[in-house]
Amino acid sequence: RYRRPDIEGIERFEGASVHYWASPLEARLCANADVALIGGGNSAGQAAVFLAGHADRVTILARRPLGATMSQYLIERIAAQPNIDVIEHAEVIALQGEGHALGGIQWRGRTDDRGGSLPVRQLFLFIGAQPNTDWLAGTGIALDPRGFVMTGRDIAPDRLALESSRQGIFAVGDVRSDSVKRVAAAAGDGAQVVASIHAFLARGDQDRG
């Protein structure tokens, strides 16, 4: 599930003015409008460049310098876009609007006394995801400090690729610790795990706890 920032009343705008992805459908909502995007990773950079082709202006608000979390080629593409602004060391603290229609956001600096309001109609959130692994409590499956499933040699030297701390139970895709959160990577995990399952069955580990 997508990580939701701690902004009071954000639920009211979700699905109408607040989005956790940027597809062509959301891009159409940005026509002739100013929009804001929270995030500083590659997914945020890619979304900002994409949205800049539809919106009048895109403002990126990042908690840290983009250079700390974003690939250089994306930073250069953002700098080359005349309708993308970047505010670093910043966080959004409030949303303004009527009903489900966003009218603006309030932000503040995290390291200084900067702050202000931005009249935006759409807000995009690219601040990562939280694994839906609460249901694994008590199963003995090891999770990393963020709640993602640990697999392979992160568990033990003899552990099969993508195998969890419980032998014969495998984890693939976004739920796996240190995975690349991309559809192509998840599909690759799905292909790779087949070989691990065959290896597991071949050595008879299905009879072990």
Same fold, 10-125 and 134-203: yes
For residue 176, the model assigns a pLDDT of: 94
For residue 175, the model assigns a pLDDT of: 92
Q: CATH assignment of 134-203, given 3.40.50.150, 3.90.1170.50, 3.50.50.60, 3.40.50.720?
A: 3.50.50.60
2 pLDDT band, cuts 50/70/90, is confident
pLDDT (average), residues 4-26: 92
Any idea where the domains of the chain sit in the sequence?
Answer: 10-125, 134-203
- Enter the pTM of the model: 0.72
For residue 67, the model assigns a pLDDT of: 94
Cα–Cα distance, 139 to 154 (Å, whole number): 18
Cα–Cα distance, 10 to 4 (Å, whole number): 9
Query: 15 versus 84: which is more confidently predicted?
Result: 84
Cα–Cα distance, 164 to 185 (Å, whole number): 18
CB within 8 Å of 69: residues ≥ 6 apart: 40, 41, 42, 62
Residue 207 pLDDT more than 80?
no
For residue 128, the model assigns a pLDDT of: 80
For residue 20, the model assigns a pLDDT of: 93
Q: Which residue from 35, 44, 37, 36 is spatially nearest to 69, judged by alpha carbons?
A: 44
Q: How is domain 10-125 classified at the CATH fold level?
A: FAD/NAD(P)-binding domain (3.50.50)
5 pLDDT band, cuts 50/70/90, is confident
The token pair at 119 is 């009249």
For residue 111, the model assigns a pLDDT of: 92
Q: Which residue from 112, 123, 132, 134 is spatially nearest to 3, judged by alpha carbons?
A: 132
For residue 33, the model assigns a pLDDT of: 97
